[in-house]
Structure 1
Amino acid sequence: MRDLTLFAATALLGLAAASPSSSTLGLLNYNGVALGDWESAYDKASAFVGNLTTEQKLALITGSSVTSATNESFSALVFADGDMGLQDFNYVSAFSLASAIAMTWDQDAYYEQAKAVGIEFYKKGIQVLNAPTSQPIGRTPWGGRFGETFGPDPYLNGLATGLAVKGYVDTGVISGAKHFLLYEQETNRTNDPSSIGPNPASGPLPYSSNTDDKTLHETYLWPFYDAVKNGLGAVMCAMTKVNNTLACQNSDLLLKHLKTELGFPGLVYPDTKAQSTETAETVNNGEDYGDSTYWSTSVMKALLANGTLSEARLNDMTIRNVIGYYYSNLDNGLQPAEQGDGAFVDVRGNHSKLIRKYGAQSMALLKNKNNALPLKTVRRMSIFGAHAGATVAGPNQDLSIDGSGPTYQGHLATGSGSGLASFPYLVTPLVPLTVKATEDGTILNWILKDNYTSTAGSSLIPSVSGSTAVSPSYETYAGNSDVCLVFLNALSGEGEDRTELYNADQDKMVNTVADNCNNTIVVINTVGPRLLDQWIEHENVTAVLYGSLLGQESGNSIVDVLYGDVNPSGRLIYSIPKNESDYNVGLCYTSQCNFTEGVYLDYRYFDAHNITTRYPFGHGLSYTSFSYSNLTILKETPRIPASPTGNLTVGGYSDLWDTVNSISVTINNTGSLSGAEIPQLYLSFPSSADQPLRQLRGFERVDLATGEQKTVTFNLRRRDISYWNVVEQQWLVAAGEYKVYVGASSRDFKLHGSFMVRTHV
């Protein structure tokens, strides 16, 4: 790496243990990494590459099909977005956004949705799925792609990322996790004014994310450990810089950390516009797959001839391009041929049921005054807000990567840019609400515009008269209703960051309705944190149901929760503060973006500064109630080596994944309805580890019938009690007291205890 900033002078200095020479750093079978269950794939890949000519190797690493001297063929890998399902295809499903599935806090859901997505990619003949999107991790709530990720907590993000990778791999496709690394906003993300995303008129772009070594490891690298451990076959490097070196030619990121420290055996490929024209630096510093515009045969042969590119590195690049193919068993010849985006091959199966189920499970009940929800039989109901119904034309809209938002005038159920899904259909809330009204005999009114003003007799509102005529205004509709449902959304996406965390028109609508309706229920679907304090304490706002973007079954998922067919169990994956000014990280408008906040994002920052949030990380209510009891810590004084002693493997040192302690609690459903609780384990470290006040280190979804109780066990891995030591360049365990907190959110603790770690060499 070159041009390290002074800010990062203590960062990214490599591994303390003996490491390969610079000429072999990061090369498979030279980096000291035990390949484990990748060994067979490596042997097959090596044998295949050994029978290729130099020209064939160069063709393969630039996306061409080749046939070896032994007549073994390799078809060029087909890459495609995205996390929510295939884009621009017919007969595919539109799944929940990653931030939505994360809000289920359900490890089975993380795996099962990814598996369903992977099945559709596999059956359409796609080999590499550009997912999961671990990052942007959500450093700032104004980041445009916040909704595409699993959230700013490294533990939750890592668990979800790892399970998503496993889900994809188990279907036979290669997972291409992104974006590596520290790509946290859209503004200034590229140096090409004709490219995607906003740019200023001048400056050394793209922006550089400058961070220290501790922050890099404990926040941003953390989820990629999980991904690599679970079978990650490809990594998309970001178009931005890290410590003033482009991510796709950053030897510290790609060679030292990803390929050696994490033991990653797969290929590194560039995001759009991320490949540098500095060919020698990209090929030698870790990028394995590139565009032949830059990596032409003549240029690459010249680098080989003058010794700039070694034969060993070219072989390594080629092996890395095919090892995931063998690891995912794509060489078995069973995958269907690639289907064009217009092909009418239905690959959806029963995925609509899964989408509806997990969409409902992801919705978090933030407020429920006087048990306003679930709804019973309603005499008169009014619905407000464009988010309740369909757009004028749809459902597939061109939500551009040049930016979308800040709200959407229709029901918002997918993202934009790379986070966009292809809807086979879209169920808006108005549809199932109308069905419920017909079943219950409810009188149903609606105004589907966020800034509506009444003009009776216009083409929008025809003039009517008679005994049932009502002036179509917020005030009159709300005043004549037993229940008022107000639907809000917030949109952003690839190419443009957010400009607001609340919306004046929407908030005015909520307050106007609540001023006239004493049972106002607000439903929100948003790409990221949406502030509520403009109306949350209004005495007539009785309930708030909050979630991300839910895919094709969105309306059904929402109404399932509103009417109690599903008991809500979603939890926030970020805090909701009271004010925008409560956040410590905004957008960076210069080319040098210094991550001076370190590891203190979201609840870790709010806890450190004792800031009262409106709703804390992990919060979510239920229609029933639960009790916690019987906290049991298996080992009160475990003896653990300070440094890892295992072999360096795929996923890091092997003993990082060993269970070193277990904590158990009993959860009892004390209410009158069946439901699911999400007990959460938080850990405080000894002061010598220099860690935040508390950190999430375990959670489980527990389904309980009325009166039922279950014991939940949290297994702490060595890495869960480790911190990154910048001097030793290693994950170390600090000796001392570890405090344990178990509860329903990051600030609602039901039980607590501690254990004392003794370290030894």
Structure 2
Amino acid sequence: MKQKSLLLAIAASATLLCSAAGLLPYQNTSLPIEERVNDALSRMTTAEKVAIIHAQSKFSSAGVPRLGIPELWCTDGPHGVRPEVLWDEWNQAGWTNDSCTAFPALTCLAATWNPEMSALYGKSIGEEARYREKDVLLGPGVNIYRTPLNGRNFEYMGEDPYLAAVMVVPYVQELQKNGVAACVKHYALNNQEYFRHTVDVDLSDRALYEIYLPAFKAAVQKGGAWSIMSSYNLYKGLHAGQNPRLLKEILRDEWGFDGAVISDWGGVHNTAQAITGGLDLEFGSWTNGLSEGKKNAYDSYYLADPYLKLISEGKVDTKELDKKAANVLRLIFRTAMNNEKPFGSLNTPEHVEAARRIAGEGIVLLKNEGAILPLDMSGKKILVVGENAIKPMTVGGGSSSLKVREEVSPLEGLRRRFGKVAEITYVRGYAGEQLKDHDGMKLLDISDNRSEEEMISEAIAAAKNADYVIFVGGLNKNPYQDCENTDRAGLGLPYGQDKVITELSKINRNVIVVNISGNAVAMPWIKDVAAVVQGWYSGSEAGNAIADVLSGDVNPSGKLPFTFPVRLEDVGAHAMGEYPGNADAFKCNKDTMPEYYKDDIFVGYRHADKIKNAPLFPFGHGLSYTSFEYGKPMADKKQMDADGTITFSINVKNTGKIAGKETVQLYISDKKSSLPRPVKELKGFSKVELAPGEEKTVTFIVGKEELSYFDDAKHAWVAEPGTFEALFGSSSRDIRGSLTFKLTD
């Protein structure tokens, strides 16, 4: 960081001298940014233009020192600012001042169903990235949760395009107020990790536009995202990082994106396609920067010397190069050369509190039989069981792995909250595989070599004398358990946890399961336990947030951003075949793994509604320690014309004894359509906070956009005249009221 600061200072001094001579109007921030970009571009040589469109290290790209244009520095997100790594290696640089605040994984953020939490998240993580002098944060992620086996789902915002689209916008806006660019990822169709570099996705345009693109579109058009990261997979025969349909026709021509497209690390495969495919900035093309000898290996990237060679030989012109360089310059002006950036901050009390608050609001109470929660712990004996009660969860999982100043484990959080009033005992119960390190960072050694029988016997013996048993398990961000580059092997819990929970429930009727995961898991023991809490990967303050909810200090208000199926066969991607691809076709052509999305638009609850199978827990589900009563929904009129809107309202009352928050969800059902449509689709939600006995009115405005489907043949959004139904609920399966209305010609 000191080296970068020195270079920036030198560049700034040179800039001041040149500006004084009137030579560099592109430095004048009072001028329109396009004028500045064009001026800078006119001063650059072809070699300088090529130099700024590819990496110069693992996480930086070159500037133009001759013109005082600084380097661009990226950092992994989206849950915290990654520790500094060596110039040419993934291993950490060994700094002592790069520990961050880990914010909850984005599944937890989405589970808040609260755009205010998304804004707080973006503001806080932006301040930390700014403090670390980063220009681009590689996040947030908004790929759709198509299958619960996707190892990277925990980095995304769930299965519904409307929910993800609403939640991504404040994150992007508040992050970029710090002068740090959001790099929204992974565009597009990164819905599995298995075969992620070779899976060739094909699907209908209707599914593409209705399900998989809306969150990206919202990030661009409403959030104003300054950069986009292309995904690894192919789409219709071309890798996403060099795919003109995705990067030019849709992203730029249809949505008006004016930022830079950045490749995922190693996501570029061909110079000619990268030139014409819409990519602007190439990173990580499978070199450590050293192995090619004295010549800088980064110069061998697809958009480096090979590009220059084609230009010098007259085989390509510089038209595309000028576009790419302009997009990168625009990104640099918005970030590295933005002289209005605020000061950043790292690990402040405000950031720690934000992480705890977001986690507490995202935790979902799935089951609470007999109102066992919140716990009355005074004078009680509490047994905590499970590896996830002590295992750090901020390390691992792939590129979102973090080095944190502090991570409060669930066990530590419970001890801090209840240790003075209750007797808390811990036993292991089960043990997963222990990884030695991650990108050069040593992991906490929690290995336990005892047999499964020994650990279960110990847990059963301890449970006999406990008033409550809190089992903290789930997945763990190890390979094949919520982790980049691998998908899960199945829906079930690993390491024999089902057996542990089942045996505990035979001994003690007060078993509370806290599931730590970014994915749905099977729960064959669901009827045998008293309560289930979805705890997510909740970051630095995970343990405190869990204790807040179990104690009742925080009344749970999270709602599921994806469906928990009973079995994998209830998921459209699996019921209709081909996941993780067409194996027979792959055998014939081992370069790619073709996969057609036969589930089409029927993803998540859309598929569950279609097959009429009751899920384990539905999309939008989440209980509270209080109760809410919905009134009769009202509408300002009974029909809308093609250019009009209808305003719906419904009263919600807290009928319990404590304050709480309820998310009112609006679903729209098209009663008769020329094309197949889901039974219902989320088209609005509002989270309200209510004191005991308090009542508030929730209002939704519905227009033509909320009634439309995408017509492949017309390549347009179409709202057909006819009858619709507005459904108001506490979840997708808990509908409390409905109204019928019409769309006229």
Instruction: Give the TM-score normalised by structure 2.
Output: 0.82
Q: What does residue range 289-308 of structure 1 map to in structure 2 within 5 Å?
A: 289-290=281-282, 292-295=299-302, 298-304=305-311
For residue 346 of structure 1, report the CA deviation from its aligned partner.
Answer: 4.1
RMSD of equivalent CA atoms: 2.6
For residue 461 of structure 1, report the CA deviation from its aligned partner.
Answer: 13
CA distance in 1, matches of 2:417, 2:246: 54
1:493 alignment counterpart: 483
CA distance in 1, matches of 2:619, 2:79: 24
For residue 576 of structure 1, report the CA deviation from its aligned partner.
Answer: 1.3
For 1:44, what is the secondary structure of its paired residue?
helix
Q: Check conservation: 1:84, 1:419, Cα contact below 8 A.
A: yes
2:501 alignment counterpart: 510
Q: What does residue range 728-743 of structure 1 map to in structure 2 within 5 Å?
A: 728-743=714-729
Of the three residues 72, 77, 80, the one matched with 1:82 is 77
1:721 counterpart = 2:707: yes
Q: Check conservation: 1:236, 1:268, Cα contact below 8 A.
A: yes
Amino acid at match of 2:264: D
Q: What does residue range 156-555 of structure 1 map to in structure 2 within 5 Å?
A: 156-190=163-197, 206-229=198-221, 230-276=223-269, 278-290=270-282, 292-295=299-302, 298-304=305-311, 309-327=316-334, 330-332=337-339, 334=341, 346=346, 348-387=348-387, 389-390=389-390, 410-412=391-393, 416-440=397-421, 442-450=422-430, 473-491=458-476, 492-503=482-493, 505-532=496-523, 534-538=524-528, 541-555=529-543
Amino acid at match of 1:134: V
Q: Check conservation: 1:375, 1:564, Cα contact below 8 A.
A: yes
CA distance in 1, matches of 2:662, 2:132: 37
For residue 307 of structure 1, report the CA deviation from its aligned partner.
Answer: 6.0
Amino acid at match of 1:664: S
Q: What do the CA deviations read for 1:691-713 (whole angstroms, capped 9, x no partner)?
A: 21101111111111001111112
CA distance in 1, matches of 2:146, 2:608: 14
* Consecutive unaligned residues in structure 2, runs of 5 or more: 1-29, 56-60, 85-97, 284-298, 433-446, 451-455, 477-481, 584-592
CA distance in 1, matches of 2:689, 2:262: 41
Amino acid at match of 1:747: R
CA distance in 2, matches of 1:109, 1:374: 24
1:123 alignment counterpart: 131
Q: Which moved more, 1:423-432 or 1:173-182?
A: 423-432
Q: What do the CA deviations read for 1:446-492 (whole angstroms, capped 9, x no partner)?
A: 2123269xxxxxx9999xxxxxxxx9722222111211111112132
CA distance in 1, matches of 2:114, 2:543: 21
Change (3 A) 1:718 1:112: farther
Q: Check conservation: 1:725, 1:732, Cα contact below 8 A.
A: yes
CA distance in 2, matches of 1:718, 1:41: 35
CA distance in 1, matches of 2:271, 2:417: 62
2:679 alignment counterpart: 693
1:675 counterpart = 2:663: no
CA distance in 1, matches of 2:341, 2:741: 52
Q: What do the CA deviations read for 1:148-200 (whole angstroms, capped 9, x no partner)?
A: 1001111111112222211211221111111111121111122xxxxxxxxxx
Q: Check conservation: 1:387, 1:412, Cα contact below 8 A.
A: no
For 2:618, what is the secondary structure of its paired residue?
coil
Q: Check conservation: 2:388, 2:516, Cα contact below 8 A.
A: no
Q: Check conservation: 1:380, 1:443, Cα contact below 8 A.
A: yes
Of the three residues 574, 592, 595, the one matched with 1:593 is 595
For 1:419, what is the secondary structure of its paired residue?
coil
CA distance in 2, matches of 1:108, 1:290: 34
For residue 302 of structure 1, report the CA deviation from its aligned partner.
Answer: 4.3
For residue 667 of structure 1, report the CA deviation from its aligned partner.
Answer: 1.0
Amino acid at match of 1:582: D
* Consecutive unaligned residues in structure 1, runs of 5 or more: 1-37, 191-205, 338-344, 391-409, 453-458, 463-470, 642-658
1:631 alignment counterpart: 633
1:142 alignment counterpart: 149
CA distance in 2, matches of 1:334, 1:167: 13
CA distance in 1, matches of 2:395, 2:648: 38
For residue 509 of structure 1, report the CA deviation from its aligned partner.
Answer: 1.1
For residue 663 of structure 1, report the CA deviation from its aligned partner.
Answer: 2.0
CA distance in 2, matches of 1:121, 1:132: 13
2:106 alignment counterpart: 98
Q: What do the CA deviations read for 1:203-235 (whole angstroms, capped 9, x no partner)?
A: xxx110111111111111111110101111111
Aligned residues, how many? 642
Change (3 A) 1:175 1:667: same
Change (3 A) 1:77 1:660: farther
Amino acid at match of 1:435: R
For 2:572, what is the secondary structure of its paired residue?
coil
For 2:565, what is the secondary structure of its paired residue?
coil
Q: Check conservation: 1:387, 1:489, Cα contact below 8 A.
A: no
Amino acid at match of 1:175: A
Amino acid at match of 2:566: K
User: Percent identity between the aligned chains?
Assistant: 28
CA distance in 2, matches of 1:264, 1:415: 33
Amino acid at match of 1:254: L
Change (3 A) 1:593 1:451: same
Q: What does residue range 563-578 of structure 1 map to in structure 2 within 5 Å?
A: 563-578=551-566
Change (3 A) 1:414 1:639: farther
For 1:268, what is the secondary structure of its paired residue?
strand
For 2:512, what is the secondary structure of its paired residue?
strand
Instruction: Give the TM-score normalised by structure 1.
Output: 0.80
CA distance in 2, matches of 1:109, 1:296: 39
Q: What do the CA deviations read for 1:122-163 (whole angstroms, capped 9, x no partner)?
A: 11100011101112x221111110111001111111112222
CA distance in 2, matches of 1:160, 1:422: 26
For residue 310 of structure 1, report the CA deviation from its aligned partner.
Answer: 3.7
Amino acid at match of 1:243: K
For residue 512 of structure 1, report the CA deviation from its aligned partner.
Answer: 1.2
2:620 alignment counterpart: 618
For residue 551 of structure 1, report the CA deviation from its aligned partner.
Answer: 0.3
Change (3 A) 1:757 1:47: farther
2:286 alignment counterpart: none
Change (3 A) 1:633 1:325: farther
CA distance in 1, matches of 2:77, 2:378: 40
Q: Which moved more, 1:730-739 or 1:55-64?
A: 55-64
Change (3 A) 1:510 1:74: same
Higher helix proportion? 2
For 2:666, what is the secondary structure of its paired residue?
strand
CA distance in 2, matches of 1:267, 1:563: 46
Amino acid at match of 2:470: L
